[in-house]
Amino acid sequence: LRAMAIDRTGIGDPVTGEMRRYAKKLPKWIKQVWRNGVQTQEEHEVGIHGYNFGAGPEAAPTKEKFKNIKHQILWTFARALENNEFDIPPKHVWASWGLPADVDIMEELLRPVWGIDSKGHTIVADQAGAECADDDMRERVKHMSSKSPNELQAMAMAFWEFRKLPKGIKPVTTAHELAAVQRQKQLERDRKEYRAKTKGGGNR
Give 126's DSSP letter.
-
Give me the pLDDT at residue 4, please: 93
Give me the pLDDT at residue 68, please: 93
What's the pTM? 0.77
Phi, psi values for residue 18, rounded to 5°: -65, -40
Judged by DSSP in three states, 3 sits in strand
Low-confidence ranges of the chain (pLDDT < 70): 200-204
Give me the pLDDT at residue 201, please: 55
The sign one gets for the Cα dihedral 78, 82, 84, 89 is: positive
Q: Which of 34, 39, 4, 7 is nearest to 21 (CA)?
A: 4
**24-78 residue pLDDT tens:** 899 998 888 878 777 788 888 999 999 999 999 998 777 789 999 999 999 999 9
Task: Tell me the pLDDT of the chain averaged across its residues.
Answer: 88
Q: How far is it, in rounded angstroms, from Cα 118 to Cα 131?
A: 13
